[in-house]
Chains A and B, each alone.
Chain A
Amino acid sequence: MSDVLTAPKPRRNSELMLLILALAAGIGAQFIVAMGAELPLDNGFVMTNGIFAGLALAIHVVLRIRAKYADPLILPIATALNGIGLAMIARIDLTMPEAQHAAGSQAILTAVAMVAAGVVIWLLKDHRMLRRFTYISLVASAVLLLLPLTPIGVPINGARIWINVGIGTFQPGEIAKITLAIFFAGYLSTNRDLILLAGKKIGPLQLPRFQDLAPMIAAWLVSIGVLVFQRDLGTSILFFGLFMAMIYVATGRISWILIGLAMIAVGGFIAMQLFSHVALRIDSWVNAFDPEVYDRVPGGSGQVVQGLFGLASGGLVGTGLGEGRPGLVTYANSDMIIASLGEELGLIGLFAIVLLYVLLISRGFRAALGTKDGFGKLLATGLSFTIALQCFVVIGGVTRLIPLTGLTTPFMSAGGSALLANWIIVALLLSISETARRPAVTGPIPSTDEQPKVLTQQQTSSRRRPADGEVGHA
Chain B
Amino acid sequence: MNQAIRTSWIVAVAMFTLLFGSLTYVQFIGAEALTNNPLNRRTVLQDFGENRGSILVDGKPIAESVESDGPFPYERVYNEPNTYAHLTGFFSLSHGATQLESAMQEQLSGTSDSQFFDRIAGLFNGNMGQGASVELTIDPQLQQLAWDLIPEGQQGSIVVMDPATGDIMAMVSKPSFDPNLLAGVNTQVVNENMQKLINTPGLSPYINPATQELLAPGSVFKIIDTAAALESEKYDPDSELPNPQNLELEGTTYELPNYVSGQCSSRTVADFAFALAHSCNTAFANIALELGQDTILKEAREFGFGQELFIPTRVVASQFPEEDLNEPQLAQSAIGQYNVKATPLEIAMMTAAIANDGVQMKPQLVQSVRAPDLRIIEEPQPEVLNTSTSPEIANQITEWMVGTTEFGTATGAQIPGVDVASKTGTAELMQGTTGNNSWYTGFAPADDPQVVVTIVIENVDVPTGSQLTSPNAKKLLEAVLNK
B-chain residues with CB within 8 Å of residue A248 when the two chains form the complex? 4, 7-8
Chain A CB within 8 A of B31 CB: yes
Chain A CB within 8 A of B254 CB: no
Residues 390-409 of A, flagged 1 when their CB comes within 8 A of B and 0 if not, give 01100110011100000000
**Are A381 and B5 touching (Cβ within 8 A)?**
yes
* Among B22-30, B311-319, B345-353, B378-386, the stretch in contact with A: B22-30
Q: Complex Cα distance A298/B2, Å?
A: 46
Chain B CB within 8 A of A384 CB: yes
> In this complex, what residue of A is CB-closest to B3?
A252
Residues 364-393 of A, flagged 1 when their CB comes within 8 A of B and 0 if not, give 010011000010011001001100110110
**Are B19 and A401 touching (Cβ within 8 A)?**
yes
**Are A294 and B27 touching (Cβ within 8 A)?**
no
Q: Complex Cα distance A350/B26, Å?
A: 12
Chain A CB within 8 A of B41 CB: yes
Q: Complex Cα distance A384/B8, Å?
A: 10
* Among A78-86, A120-128, A303-311, the stretch in contact with B: A303-311
Chain A CB within 8 A of B120 CB: no
Residues 60-104 of A, flagged 1 when their CB comes within 8 A of B and 0 if not, give 000000000000000000000000000000000000000000000
B12 contact from A252, A365, A400, Cβ within 8 A? A365
Q: A325-B42, A369-B5 are in contact. Are A347 and B23 (CB under 8 A)?
A: yes
* Among B32-40, B327-335, B423-431, the stretch in contact with A: B32-40
A-chain residues with CB within 8 Å of residue B8 when the two chains form the complex? 245, 248-249, 365, 381, 385
**Are A354 and B20 touching (Cβ within 8 A)?**
yes
Interface members, chain B 216-262 (any A CB < 8 Å): none
Residues 254-280 of A, flagged 1 when their CB comes within 8 A of B and 0 if not, give 000000000000000000000000000
Interface members, chain A 285-329 (any B CB < 8 Å): 289, 291, 294, 305, 308-316, 325, 328
**Are A252 and B1 touching (Cβ within 8 A)?**
yes
**Are B42 and A374 touching (Cβ within 8 A)?**
no
A312 contact from B5, B6, B31, B45, Cβ within 8 A? B31
A-chain residues with CB within 8 Å of residue B462 when the two chains form the complex? none
**Are A350 and B27 touching (Cβ within 8 A)?**
yes
> In this complex, what residue of B is CB-closest to A469?
B2
A-chain residues with CB within 8 Å of residue B16 when the two chains form the complex? 354, 357-358, 388, 391-392
**Are B1 and A396 touching (Cβ within 8 A)?**
no
Chain A CB within 8 A of B325 CB: no
**Are B35 and A395 touching (Cβ within 8 A)?**
no
**Are B35 and A396 touching (Cβ within 8 A)?**
no
> In this complex, what residue of B is CB-closest to A324?
B42
B-chain residues with CB within 8 Å of residue A1 when the two chains form the complex? 2, 6
Chain B CB within 8 A of A342 CB: yes
Least CB distance, B16 to chain A, in whole angstroms: 5
B18 contact from A312, A392, A470, Cβ within 8 A? A392
A351 contact from B5, B20, B37, Cβ within 8 A? B20
B9 contact from A309, A350, A362, A401, Cβ within 8 A? A362
Chain A CB within 8 A of B13 CB: yes
Q: A325-B45, A401-B19 are in contact. Are A249 and B26 (CB under 8 A)?
A: no
A316 contact from B4, B11, B27, B41, Cβ within 8 A? B27
Q: Complex Cα distance A247/B26, Å?
A: 35
Q: A369-B5, A369-B6, A381-B5 are in contact. Are A399 and B23 (CB under 8 A)?
A: yes
Q: A249-B8, A250-B1, A361-B12 are in contact. Are A400 and B22 (CB under 8 A)?
A: yes
**Are A309 and B42 touching (Cβ within 8 A)?**
yes
Q: How many residues of A contact B (CB 8 A)?
A: 52
Q: A252-B1, A365-B9 are in contact. Are A311 and B19 (CB under 8 A)?
A: no
> In this complex, what residue of A is CB-closest to B24?
A347
> In this complex, what residue of B is CB-closest to A399?
B22
**Are A249 and B35 touching (Cβ within 8 A)?**
no
**Are B12 and A347 touching (Cβ within 8 A)?**
no
Chain B CB within 8 A of A439 CB: no
Q: A315-B31, A347-B28, A374-B1 are in contact. Are A354 and B12 (CB under 8 A)?
A: no
**Are B26 and A400 touching (Cβ within 8 A)?**
yes
Residues 89-110 of B, flagged 1 when their CB comes within 8 A of A and 0 if not, give 0000000000000000000000
A-chain residues with CB within 8 Å of residue B42 when the two chains form the complex? 309-310, 313, 325, 328
B-chain residues with CB within 8 Å of residue A350 when the two chains form the complex? 23, 27
B-chain residues with CB within 8 Å of residue A368 when the two chains form the complex? 5
Least CB distance, B102 to chain A, in whole angstroms: 16
Chain A CB within 8 A of B123 CB: no
**Are B26 and A311 touching (Cβ within 8 A)?**
yes
**Are A396 and B22 touching (Cβ within 8 A)?**
yes
Least CB distance, B25 to chain A, in whole angstroms: 7
Q: A328-B45, A361-B12, A365-B8 are in contact. Are A342 and B19 (CB under 8 A)?
A: no
**Are A314 and B4 touching (Cβ within 8 A)?**
no
Chain A CB within 8 A of B377 CB: no
**Are A312 and B39 touching (Cβ within 8 A)?**
no
Q: A369-B6, A401-B19, A470-B2 are in contact. Are A315 and B12 (CB under 8 A)?
A: no
Q: Complex Cα distance A378/B2, Å?
A: 10
Q: Complex Cα distance A328/B94, Å?
A: 11
**Are B31 and A354 touching (Cβ within 8 A)?**
no
Least CB distance, B32 to chain A, in whole angstroms: 8
Chain A CB within 8 A of B15 CB: yes
Chain B CB within 8 A of A346 CB: yes
Could you pull out 14 A-B pairs where Cβ atoms are within 8 angstroms? A1-B2, A248-B8, A305-B39, A309-B40, A312-B31, A315-B27, A350-B23, A365-B5, A385-B12, A388-B16, A392-B15, A399-B23, A401-B18, A469-B2
Q: Known pairs A325-B45, A357-B16. 8 more at Cβ < 8 A? A: A252-B3, A312-B27, A346-B27, A377-B5, A378-B1, A389-B15, A395-B22, A469-B2
